[in-house]
Chains A and B, each alone.
Chain A
């Protein structure tokens, strides 16, 4: 287990998490109305908060990604990333529990029309992917503070 705290393991985990957040952020930054539509489909966000979240969340993901990759404020970025991942997982899990299929909206805006069964299956995989990313986030968070610089 000590190997998991090796500085290079921490850095690679931070870079991987940062890369995932960066890839997720870019298409949403490019198309806030599309992300707002995806968020609306979750039926979890109050109407008044829909637009502010659709506009700011992708940028927050992007800034977290840059911090994780660069090493600047990496611990705080990992903390925020882990918190966001928990929120995303809860949103997916609630809709899975409801049997309400949604397009994740995680890595861009879905264009292809898919059946409800296909979307529910994809949601399970999305949940698993977020759990994997959360493990990376926890790994970075549990590393010694001195090893979290770039």
Chain B
């Protein structure tokens, strides 16, 4: 009979593991809790996720680019200085002029220069990384919307951003997909001007642009 014991014991192990997982998840804090039915990674039918479109090209060296988008690549823009102002200026007209709502695609990928410009003009910025990593450093004004932590839908519903204004999403750069997953989720929530900053936080830091730390501001939408 002893040879049959694993047939009984193995399912018992599995049942015990599920019970332990259920209890531990129920008592876990919000940043350690995982929804049993994950919201973000499910594949969704989106309009063609576009590869990086060429950024809008200002014809003249004006301080605030106001040109419409053109299909040519911008000649390498002058880098923004790290000591540039941190507090963004809320300028929805400039935001919409340079980054109009996207047509026929869920999101577009943007460069660090564009992300910096959007940050300086008060665009909504969302950090898709984990809360603990966000607390160590993030883009100024960014809100934390980790795609892996529980309550993502509620956080998105609580966002007060205008879905037609550009929204910047970023994560850890490289092959990090969290910002793309968040873009899918936001597109389903009605956001139509999503800009994924593929360089992400590491590139931002490498550029020497200002960062913010902690979760007191921005962790909750």
B interface footprint on A120-148 (CB within 8 Å = 1, 0 otherwise): 00000000000000000000000001000
- Give CA–CA (A114, B146) in the complex, Å: 21
**Which of A3-11, A74-82, A85-93 lies at the interface with chain B?**
A74-82
* CB closest chain-B residue, reference A72: B9
CB contact list, B24-63 vs A, under 8 A = 24-25, 28, 31-38, 41-43
Q: A33-B130, A51-B35, A113-B174 are in contact. Are A80 and B24 (CB under 8 A)?
A: no
Q: Closest approach, in angstroms, between the C-beta of B202 and any C-beta of chain A?
A: 7
* CB closest chain-B residue, reference A141: B6
Q: Which of A47, A56, A59, A73 contacts B9 (CB 8 A)?
A: A73
Sample of 22 A–B contacts (CB below 8 Å): A32-B21, A32-B33, A33-B31, A33-B148, A33-B150, A34-B130, A37-B178, A40-B41, A47-B42, A50-B41, A51-B35, A54-B34, A56-B17, A56-B18, A59-B20, A60-B14, A63-B17, A67-B13, A73-B9, A75-B5, A101-B175, A113-B172
The answer to whether A36 has its CB under 8 Å from any CB of chain B is yes
* CB closest chain-B residue, reference A114: B174
Main secondary structure of the interface of A (DSSP, over half): helix
Give the residues in chain B near A59, CB-CB below 8 Å. Answer: 16-18, 20-21, 24
Q: Which of A29, A47, A79, A101 contacts B38 (CB 8 A)?
A: A47
Most buried by A among B34, B35, B37, B149: B34
The number of residues on chain A lying at the interface, defined by a beta carbon within 8 Å of a beta carbon of chain B, is 36
The answer to whether A52 has its CB under 8 Å from any CB of chain B is yes
- Give CA–CA (A95, B32) in the complex, Å: 27
- Give CA–CA (A25, B18) in the complex, Å: 14
Q: Which of A30, A40, A62, A80 contacts B32 (CB 8 A)?
A: A30
A64–B130 touching, CB < 8 Å: no
Q: Which of A51, A52, A60 contacts B13 (CB 8 A)?
A: A60
* CB closest chain-B residue, reference A60: B17
Give the residues in chain A near B150, CB-CB below 8 Å. Answer: 33
Give the residues in chain A near B36, CB-CB below 8 Å. Answer: 51-52, 55
Q: Closest approach, in angstroms, between the C-beta of A55 and any C-beta of chain B?
A: 4
Q: Closest approach, in angstroms, between the C-beta of A119 and any C-beta of chain B?
A: 10
Q: A55-B34, A77-B13, A113-B202 are in contact. Are A34 and B148 (CB under 8 A)?
A: yes
